[in-house]
Amino acid sequence: MVKSIEDRTTLNNGVKMPWLGLGVFRVENGPDASNAVREAIVQGYRSIDGAAIYENEESMGQGIAEGIKEAGISREDLFITSKLWNADQGYESGLKAYEESLKRLGLDYLDLYLIHWPVKGKYKEAWRALETIYKEGRVRAIGVSNFQIHHLEDLFTDAEIKPAVNQVEYHPRLTQKPLHEFCKAQGIQLEAWAPLMVGKLFDNEVLKEIADKHNKSIAQVILRWDLQNGVVTIPKSTNKGRIKENSGIFDFELTAEEVTQIDNLNQDFRTGADPDNFNF
């Protein structure tokens, strides 16, 4: 059982990754982003997830620096993720994009670097770039985002290194069980983006009943469900109270029956793009 915000899962290369992190998708570059990151670190979060396309890496980096100082910790205590955007997928362009992300973040290395989407005909060259960065010891782990089973199988045909993480849309309406089982069998850690389904589950009666039983919020119940399913989760918030609330998931446990009840809410419903059909 995951009992603390300090608890980590061990990736397939031995690197330890926090089960809970803060996501900064759709957070405007500026005080909103830097304050959210700083606040999360001060409150005990040790994982921050960003991406080049979010266009807020400068503020994310500022928040990291301020958070480290205020919390009295070191850079090594943190787990920082960014992602290679679609337009930069390629070998040379991938290497260059990594350097540019580091520069914007003001960091010497990342803990995890992901290919953001499986762009047909491009992601294998992009993966080769990530493998190079990894072999050179300039990133601690590499992975993918939004990859389906067939994308992963295709990647495996040429890859020398297996992805450590696959970050996908995952919430009670989109449980992606076959993908989750495949990743488990391959030793790839599943990570949830949009774990709270952009707030669209907060009036769900099943979740409300479970939340009331545990004296928790629906958000806390969903995030706890992620962890009990072995899924790393990175809820996004810029609200100080909500950041704190989202971390209050380590002092209770859902029963097996409650986990199944939440699993059964699945409708294969996406709030984001379909990885097999996107045009960006």
Of the residues 45, 54, 98, 134, only one is catalytic, namely: 54
Q: How far apart are CA 154 and CA 48, in angstroms?
A: 29
Say which CATH superfamily domain 16-199+230-238 falls into: NADP-dependent oxidoreductase domain (3.20.20.100)
Every domain of the chain and the residues it spans: 16-199+230-238
> Cα 162 to chain center, whole Å?
18
How much is the pLDDT for 215?
98
The encoded tokens of residue 102 equal 């580091």
Q: Is 91 labeled as catalytic in the residue annotation?
A: no
Q: 193 forms bridges with which residues in the sheet?
A: 169
pLDDT at residue 174, as a whole number: 98
Longest dimension (CA), the chain: 54
Q: What is the pLDDT of residues 44-97, one digit of tens each?
A: 999 999 999 999 999 999 999 999 999 999 999 999 999 999 999 999 999 999
Angle between helices 218-228 and 256-263 (to 10 degrees): 100
The secondary structure of the chain, three-state, reads CCCCCCCEEECCCCCEEECECEECCCCCCCHHHHHHHHHHHHCCCCEEECCHHHCCHHHHHHHHHHHHHHHCCCHHHCEEEEEECHHHCCHHHHHHHHHHHHHHHCCCCECEEEECCCCCCCHHHHHHHHHHHHHCCCECCEEEECCCHHHHHHHHCCCCCCCCEEEEECECCECCHHHHHHHHHHCCEEEEECCCHHHCCCCCHHHHHHHHHHCCCHHHHHHHHHHHCCCEECCECCCHHHHHHHCCCCCCCCCHHHHHHHHCCCCCCCCCCECCECCC
Q: Which residues of the chain have pLDDT under 70?
A: none
What is the model's pLDDT at position 90?
98
Predicted pLDDT at 1: 83
Q: How far apart are CA 23 and CA 140, in angstroms?
A: 19
Residues 6+ apart with CB under 8 A from 16: 8, 9, 10
Task: State the pLDDT at residue 276.
Answer: 97
Check: pTM over 0.85? Answer yes or no.
yes
Instruction: State the Cα–Cα distance between residues 123 and 129, nearest whole angstrom.
Output: 10
Cα separation of 240 and 109, whole Å?
Answer: 28
